[in-house]
Chains A and B, each alone.
Chain A
């Protein structure tokens, strides 16, 4: 079992619904995004191409963040998920500079004291913020809480209106993700870094 995600760049319309869905699912504060969609414009007028590139933690098989973490806070589960134990992280940010995909977020001290709307937190923030800690590093969890509860989709893949994000088991040759990678030639981001990411992009 190795969970992974396939991102179909041809389908992504850059609506950021996944970004919002993720924030709502995890109750992330301002500036904290486990996933987001980046724009890329290349070429010069009149030959211009715009593409949307969703990014998130790649849950690498050989994750540099796991290797460099001095506390063991970042660890790898048997199902391929790379997670952070909030109670162990000391906030040294070695993982932040080791992640080739720059998909780790450091929560500054005091970041969770105020919500989106000034001094008072909304009832939703009051419920969700205690799940986080400031002064530590966070990142996408591939919705481990949903997987543990028996669900088969992450929040971002479920929210995506264009079906551009497909979540599944990379070790199962008959899963939708494996079939898409085989048939469409999925590419891993920054494969030259030899981290073996669990996220594949389809052109």
Chain B
């Protein structure tokens, strides 16, 4: 059936319609949210004050800023906290608020404070929710079949960990995050493992998307055959995962700051584009999909 129904824009005809409202700024918010919270979580485990600060600032300024720029009525943003019981947007705002409050309190605590551990646990849990809620937000939208997969939050989680690991590697090479030898050796291996995991998740997502009905198939075609195929295969997969993986395996963290900087840029480019493209390919089903001759 999907093959006989066109993809339409604003015309007064029935057909699949691409969602146009969530694009660049929402993708930026997702991107900054995941990279910032990933860096924050990693920094708490590595006990890096500066890493935590940078992570918090990325989430606050990057994610918060992108959301504020996107909102039609930004001064009403506080109203978005009204319905955490049913709305993932509300849950996300609350998680961000908790992460900021606990994170900055953690930074202000004196060394050896008894409050450090409970605050750190609370901040990490909040940061984790910030990292994955985008996935639940997309999954909870019944209108766009390609987003309705349990892999979405998993993908968000792994991309967040990958972004965080890459940023930690980058900052430690700049001398901003002094790490013990144990962690210096562990990070490149963790990076490779996360890149492989992300590749597998994207592959599973694509395989699963083929059978998500006619609108899901339309989205899949847009991504792998249509206008978004070039940025998807070149930037999201090629640069973001394959190139990064090859550089990590054959160059790695030991190849110098230039290589690590290249890995970081490539990883972040891929990270942004995968979620940007996933938003762009969202397709609504035709209202009366059953009409056939």
Where the two chains meet, the residues of B that have a C-beta atom closer than 8 Å to any C-beta of A are: 4, 10, 12-14, 17, 19, 21-22, 70-74, 76-77, 79-83, 86-90, 93, 137, 140-144, 282, 284-285, 287-293
Contact = CB atoms under 8 A, between A and B. Distances in A.
Nearest to B77: A90
A135 B72 CA distance: 4
5 contacts: A39-B14, A70-B93, A73-B79, A90-B73, A136-B73
B27 to A, nearest CB: 13
Interface of A: 16, 31, 36-43, 47-49, 51, 53, 55, 64, 67-73, 88-94, 96-102, 106-109, 133-137, 187, 189-190, 193-195, 201
Given A96-B19, A193-B142, A135 B83 contact: no
Contacts of A48: 293
A100 B293 contact: no
Given A40-B14, A43-B293, A100 B143 contact: yes
A38 B72 contact: no
A160 B262 CA distance: 63
Find the residue from B14, B287, B288 having the highest chain A CB count within 10 A.
B287
Nearest to A40: B14
A104 to B, nearest CB: 9
A42 B87 contact: no
A89 B82 contact: no
Contact of A97 (B81, B86, B143, B289): B143
A89 B22 contact: no
Given A71-B79, A91-B73, A93-B21, 10 more contacts: A47-B293, A70-B79, A70-B87, A72-B82, A89-B73, A91-B76, A100-B143, A102-B287, A133-B73, A135-B72
